[in-house]
Structure 1
């Protein structure tokens, strides 16, 4: 009878250790899956829509004779080419001839750029990217 009473706590302790170890493994696995998901989703390209306000990161495109590092734009068109989406954007001074991928944009849809939001792009002429930066 004495041996059985000693075995019971040892068995309970062993079971508790196994449960704690399993819980730790589960949490580590869940954490690594979450980290992997976050890394993967941050690399995924953002999808923009016509009318969205974005910030064109000038330094990512071209810094030739430009004073501004950023250029607020409105998306006026998008097209797919070889599985990639390219966007046409307009500044208050014109529609930029070149097309851009979303990786060179910063999302400004939450910002208040009333001038761009209400901009009638039908009356704008086309300008090159460098012209848009210099204006």
Structure 2
């Protein structure tokens, strides 16, 4: 098993044609990337792996669906991560190009990647420690 098999959890919303991910940080926490408004599948995926969604990252403002990031912040206490250039009107940690967020030995680095939207971000995962592989079935 490799890193993606053990730590990257895809959650697909076929109705929206949207694929999102949870990342098992190896300590019971997970960030959710670009979560749609319907959070049932994300919550079930997290609970099924014994994870708490601690971060909700929006890579860009979504015109095609409503984001569930604010709801994850409200319900789960997740820190919402979003582009500073998007000037969102809700509580979030605003990220600009090259900003970093510590994830307990791992770092998410924001990279400004305008194109899809002017304020689009990509997030690069960098690790000063290697994630431990979980036993099969977890």
TM-score > 0.5, shorter chain as reference: no
Q: Which has the larger share of helix? A: 1
Shorter-chain TM range is: under 0.3
Q: What is the TM-score when the length of structure 2 is the normalising length?
A: 0.23
TM-score (norm 1): 0.23
- As a proportion of its length, which structure holds more strand? 2
- Bigger RCO of structures 1 and 2 (CA < 8 A, at least 6 apart): 1
